[in-house]
Structure 1
Amino acid sequence: MNRDITKQDFGRFVTEHRRAAGFTQRQLAERLHVTESAVSKWERGLSYPDITLVQALATELGVSGQELISASEDHEGRADKRDARNYRGWRRAILWTTLLTWAGAILTCFIVNLSVQHTLSWFWIVLPAVGLAFSLTTLPLLPVPRPGWSALASATACLVVLLLVVWLQFAAGPWLVIAVSGVLFGLLLVFTPIWLTLLELPGGLGRHTTVLALVIDTAALVVFLLIVFVALGRLELWVWPVLPLVAIGAVPIWLVALTIRYLPLPALGVTAAVVLLFGICALVIGRLVNAVLGEREAGYVDLMTWGDATIEANIRLLIFCAACGAALVFGAAALVQSGARRRSGATVR
């Protein structure tokens, strides 16, 4: 028993809850298969019940085993159990309501489509659309393995089927390949980092999930754009200027991600490096894009003149200067913080 309570506290607790349950000492003793004298000794604070009787006694008194051992009401625990019961009831209500709603929508559309057009036409669009809504709202509530991933897979399949039905019935063309590949690319872009953390990667690859995610997402982007331009019959545009533009856009992302992941500096130092990279990119990316597109550099720097010929170059320069200033501030703060830590460590030693 808990040493924080006395036998008298325990006895009063048993007496109070026995009476609340409507039992006499004899009735409680009979239900526990002990003597009435044993129950009397518990309630008078002369002895504790055997440890093997604790759970049975708690059940008869309508309390938890922890409450009986501590001889006190666990209001918070009871509230948690009540909330859990309410949640389960709410969950069941939502589940059955949505199931009936989706079934009713499918049946209604089936009947209306047949009665009005005497054939099934737009019903085949409604069916995967309802399946998509079901996958996102109701499927996670069902007792399926890994409900989140199951919902994602089901929703993706329903979306692809929906696009296919629209393509077959209303608008044939290359857009279907582009749309499906776009959906798959989006899934890779969003979920690749999560998938990599869940996989047991061999060797030391587990420490380099950032690089792996960047490689996969960059390759997926290149393949997606290849599919788009092949579907449009303009493969030459993918070779130039699309690939160089992708490289220009991907390099800053790679630099920032690798800086955050691998630069051996404290957080403020890494922040300074990232801000400086942002300033450099703001200064040079526009020039690189213009060079790839074969366009002349628009405007020149003149902070005393803000017109069509100078505003773009002026803004780039100001962004670069602001980024350099912020990087200096963060770098100085990192040095001060590092010095303070060294002095604190020396003092402790």
Structure 2
Amino acid sequence: MDNNKVGTFISVSRKAKNMTQKELAEKLNITDKAVSKWERGIGYPDITIISKLAEILSVTVNELLNGERLTEDSSLINAVDSSLDYVNKVSDHRNVKNVNIVTIVVSLIFLTAIFICTLCDLAITKTISWSIIPSSSIVLAWFIIIPMIRLKKNRLSISMLSLSILIIPFLWIIEQNTNGHWLISVGIPIVIASLSYLWIGTFIFCYTKLNKYYGLSIAFIILHILDIIIDKILGRLAIDYSIILTAVGCTIISIIFFYMGLRDKGQGDGAKPLKNIL
């Protein structure tokens, strides 16, 4: 459906009825701005008022959707395609509108949280000090969450990319505001290990055709390896029973998921890729 063509057709049909945009809007219980947007090709009527609009303009619904007068034969040929195209376009428009609303609401909530933290900090300490940490956390969360809301494809990968880029600066801000000296010796090695785990998980979940249970089984095996690496970084590898407990727990869970994968495969659903879950 051509927005400009439909808009021009609405404008011509309206003028043929000697109606102003305001008069047409009043008949449809909408604003004249909405009619103006239709006629300029930057919007289109809601599907719920298409029939009434066609009746007011003395045209058929098919003619309105096609943006031109139709002969009887061409009307029958184009009816279904025009209707389906219009429904899909309106649906996409509503989805974009809803996404924009959610984005604005989330952003306003985050901005409000930053404002409140900063205000409390100023009221208590008469300067900006500890509020930098929660404010930085909120900014980091925004860059991770927004791609999940707005994007249709590769949402998880883009969110992971945001996390990978921003996590080190975020930890540096924490270090600077806590008078610590742990980022290079401890923070960065743990971040590299953790991000490696998350990226492997992202690859398994989004870009392979592994059975979902096999993928989860692999994820828990890697989680145990990650725990060993982190304990090594923290210097706790020598005597730390948490490694043993984690190893046992991850192994048991991994075996359970692997068994579920075998059973799932036996039932004919083993080819279901993990990315279909996300």
TM range (shorter): 0.5 to 0.7
Q: Which amino acid aligns with 1:295?
A: R
CA distance in 1, matches of 2:254, 2:110: 44
- Once the two structures are TM-superposed, the CA of residue 225 in structure 1 deviates from its matched residue by 1.0
Partner of 1:292: 233
1:56-67 aligned at under 5 Å gives the runs: none
Q: 2:259 aligns with which of 329, 333, 342?
A: 329
Q: Could you tell me how far 1:215 is from its partner in structure 2?
A: 0.8
The 8 Å contact of residues 221 and 254 in structure 2, kept in 1 or not, is answered as yes
Partner residue of 1:157?
111
Gaps of 5+ in 2: 1-54, 56-98, 272-278
2:122 to 168, 177, 190: 168
Residue 170 of structure 1 aligns to a residue whose secondary structure is: helix
Alpha carbons of structure 1 residues 160 and 327: separation in structure 2 relative to 1, 3 Å: closer
- Asked if the contact 1:290–1:297 (Cα under 8 Å) also holds between the matched residues in 2, the reply is no
- CA 1:157–1:287 in structure 2 vs 1: closer, same or farther (change >3 Å)? closer
Root-mean-square deviation (CA), in Å?
3.1
Deviation, 1:212, is: 1.9
Which letter maps to 2:263?
A: A
Residues matched between the structures, number: 174
Give the C-alpha shift of residue 174 in structure 1.
2.5
Deviations 1:89-125 (A, max 9, x none): xxxxxxxxxxxxxxxxxxxxxxxxxxxxxxxxxxxxx
Native 8 Å contact 2:171 2:183 kept in 1 = yes
**Residue correspondence of structure 1 range 55-204 to structure 2 within 5 A:** 146-171=100-125, 172-197=127-152
For residues 250 and 147 of structure 2, what CA distance do their matches in structure 1 show? 33
**CA positional deviation for 1:340:** 9.9
Kindly provide the amino acid, as one letter, of the partner of residue 199 in structure 2.
W
Gaps of 5+ in 1: 1-54, 56-144, 198-205, 300-310, 342-349
Shift of 1:184: 1.1
Looking at structure 1, the residues matched to 132 and 230 of structure 2 have their Cα atoms a distance apart, in angstroms, of: 28
1:249 to 194, 212, 215: 194
Which string of whole-angstrom CA distances, capped at 9 and with x for unpartnered residues, describes residues 192-247 of structure 1?
A: 311333xxxxxxxx4x333222111222222211221123343x421221011122
- Give 1:277's match in structure 2, choosing from 216, 219, 242: 219
Report the structure number with the largest CA radius of gyration.
Answer: 1
TM-score (norm 2): 0.53
Q: Does structure 2 conserve the Cα–Cα contact (< 8 Å) formed by 1:245 and 1:289?
A: yes
Q: 3-state SS of the aligned residue for 2:151?
A: helix
Could you tell me which residue of structure 2 aligns to residue 237 of structure 1? 182
**Displacement of 1:182:** 1.4
Between the two proteins, what is the percent identity of the paired residues? 12
Greater RCO (Cα-Cα under 8 Å, separation 6 or more): 2
1:222 equivalenced with 2:168 (yes/no): yes
Alignment match of 2:159 (pick from 183, 206, 213): 213
Cα displacement (A) at 1:185: 1.4
Could you give the per-residue CA deviations for residues 310-341 of structure 1, whole angstroms, max 9, x where no partner exists? x5454334324323422431332244234999
The amino acid across from 2:106 in the alignment is L
* Structure 1 residues 118-147: Cα deviation after superposition (integer angstroms, max 9, x where no partner): xxxxxxxxxxxxxxxxxxxxxxxxxxx954
Paired residue for 2:275? none
In the TM superposition, residue 183 of structure 1 has moved relative to its aligned partner by: 1.5
Alpha-carbon distance between aligned partners in 2 of 1:168 and 1:250, rounded to the nearest angstrom? 35
8 Å CA contact 1:276–1:323 kept in 2: the answer is no
**What is the rounded CA distance, in whole Å, between the counterparts of 2:151 and 2:123 in structure 1?**
39
TM-score (norm: length of structure 1): 0.43
Q: Residue 318 of structure 1 corresponds to which residue in structure 2?
A: 248
